[in-house]
Structure 1
């Protein structure tokens, strides 16, 4: 008789921490130009969102209060349509309609920034405080050394 394994206990070795920063796979958005990279990202976001382009266009229209059609989304997602680069307002509408924050990360990365959820801000603030405290402690150590050297010289101790 075969013994069944315990299916109620979590396997700690299979656990992976949640992603803090969501980004596109490099191969999915690799392109020769920024314009082409944005087009690829738009195409991937549209494909991955689980909605058809008509639905996304309607959600963008509702959110922005201006008409956005499927044909416009097709143009934004096409690398060949260099004359149709998505503007920032419609980009925000696309993020809203698809729920894909990887689009925001694509904009932040070239500037050395990351898009993170607000819930992580306290941990980031704490890490920054720890870094600052360590820098201050190192500065205090340097000051203590300078003071000790000056005191030795003042007392005539080599």
Structure 2
């Protein structure tokens, strides 16, 4: 069925893309020569995507952590040239939480076997793991049944 002229309600089936279970930034936007530089690029990209001012984010981070975080600190953490001003792990995680950015975490997990997924998927993942365990148990029981029948 063709989309009617001016129809804003009917979606284009060819433009559909599967949802991102483990969101990431575009690879070219966070490519870096070292992990330290990649952290800087990931922070800069997350801050840019968020759209709030660095002053507002610094204020929220300060309130969340209970310590003073300035815009200058955020600028230093995102600067690849300031190698001695790396962000600490707890501040990185706090910033990811404030920005709501799973991308920040997934980018740093790129070369591992791990990903960060939205918590809403936990029941589905646990269900799938239980089904795998159930299948393994059923195969074990079937092999024991076969061995028992052959031994009679």
Q: What residue in structure 2 maps to residue 36 of structure 1?
A: 37
The 1:12–1:32 alpha-carbon spacing in structure 2 relative to 1, beyond 3 Å, is same
Shift of residue 79, structure 1, vs aligned partner? 1.5
Distance, in Å, in 2 between the alignment partners of 1:87 and 1:20 is 27
- CA 1:26–1:9 in 2, change beyond 3 Å: closer, same or farther? closer
Deviation at 1:21, TM superposition (A): 1.3
Structure 2, unaligned runs of 5 or more: none
The residue number in structure 1 matching 2:23 is 22
**Number of the residue aligned with 1:105:** 106
Deviation, 1:42, is 0.7
Q: Contact conserved, 1:60 with 1:96, CA < 8 A, in 2? A: no
Q: 1:13-34 CA distances to partner (integer Å, 9 max, x unpaired)? A: 4333332211222222222221
- Matched-pair contact (CA < 8 Å) for 2:22–2:102: no
Count of residues in Structure 1 that have an aligned counterpart in Structure 2: 149
CA contact (8 A) 2:61 2:95 kept: yes
Give the Å deviation of 1:143. Answer: 1.9
SS at match of 2:37: helix
TM (norm. structure 1) is 0.80
Aligned to 1:82, the other structure's residue is in SS state coil
The residue matched to 1:24 in structure 2 has which SS? Answer: coil
**Gap change, CA 1:7 and 1:75, over 3 Å in 2:** closer
Structure possessing the higher relative contact order (Cα contacts under 8 Å, 6 or more residues apart): 2
- The higher radius of gyration belongs to 1
Q: Which moved more, 1:138-147 or 1:5-14?
A: 5-14
Is 1:105–1:114's contact at 8 Å kept on the other side of the alignment?
A: yes
- Give the equivalent residue in structure 2 for 1:137: 138
The alpha-carbon distance between structure 1 residues 11 and 24, as it changes in their structure 2 partners (threshold 3 A), is closer
Question: How far 1:5 moved relative to its partner?
Answer: 6.2
